[in-house]
Homo-oligomer: A and B are copies of this chain.
């Protein structure tokens, strides 16, 4: 089958996540990158396009230009990846959605709730798909966990513990003058009001909800900015109350030395428990209460179709972050192809506008709660 024609907004030189999206799109051969507005600086946009081998005519100076030009081409892009800083998600997304071009957008949804709502409106009004790359839900053993909870392997859920510690902002990296990632991710204008909660807390929140199948109803959050001069939170701790009575905790930190990307989820129910860690993603610990702990492996005897459906290699041949990310892209491709074939796409496991809005509500609730001294706030 011919690859889906893909464009990209953002992701020029020096960008981290743009390169990740490109690999994820390419991994299963489902997309071909054919156009881009890769930087807001036209020269950098052009150079980046050349470096990626884009036809210069399709390496645009702005997303407006790109949206118009591509929509007018018979062989124009079918989908676009948006990998700009958060404040630049909604604008391009709306432009492409308006033109019926599918959007695959980095998270969080936007920098402000107002942008988020405007975007949600555009999604509702468009026939095109909107996919948000909550990529951690693409890991096979996260899918496995989600399926096991849904099938009742743990019984009724009681406790959900999720954490996401990192250490890369332990010092004031944003003041060093040579760390663009740190700069925009700690700048409320570009990142939004949330720091750690927006950048990684939203992933933790999304993962907890995805696997448990439960929504957070209320939270009580204590946010800190430990590093002097930092303008957003760099450590967030909170209590969670889920629908149906389950309780949880969420910790997101960027100042915890010794933690690289420590996203970790534990879910406990009346009859069993599950534990998963992003840095060791091919494994899932499962304990049916009263029996020995079992190490389920991607591809091993304990893994079922849920993991197998998004695996490429046998057990013991580790898949990683890029493969998990690719599973979102490849899942989106299937949905796009279904839609273009006039069929109903299966969006049940794909994060989209609803998850995006949930994330924005999560950020807002954290800030509101913390400002009220960790009072309970409904999402």
Q: Which residues of A contact B (CB under 8 A)?
A: 1-3, 16, 19-20, 22-23, 26-29, 52-53, 154, 158-159, 161, 163, 166-167, 170-171, 220, 222, 224, 226, 235, 237-239, 241, 247-249, 251, 253, 255-262, 266, 268-273, 275, 278-282, 285-297, 299-302, 312-323, 373-374, 376
Nearest B residue to A258 via CB reads B287
Interface SS of chain A: loop
Flag if A317 contacts B316 (CB, 8 Å).
Answer: no
CA distance A270 to B161 in the complex (A): 25
Flag if B312 contacts A23 (CB, 8 Å).
Answer: yes
CA distance A23 to B319 in the complex (A): 12
Flag if A300 contacts B289 (CB, 8 Å).
Answer: no
Determine the chain B residues whose CB is within 8 A of the CB of A374 once the complex forms: 220, 239, 376
Determine the chain B residues whose CB is within 8 A of the CB of A269 once the complex forms: 257
User: A315 touches which one: B20, B261, B319 (CB < 8 A)?
Assistant: B261
Determine the chain B residues whose CB is within 8 A of the CB of A317 once the complex forms: 260-261, 320-321
With A23-B312, A320-B323 as known contacts, state yes or no: A268 contacts B257, CB within 8 Å: yes
Flag if B260 contacts A158 (CB, 8 Å).
Answer: no
Flag if A260 contacts B315 (CB, 8 Å).
Answer: yes
Determine the chain B residues whose CB is within 8 A of the CB of A312 once the complex forms: 19-20, 23, 322
Determine the chain B residues whose CB is within 8 A of the CB of A3 once the complex forms: 53
Determine the chain B residues whose CB is within 8 A of the CB of A301 once the complex forms: 290-292
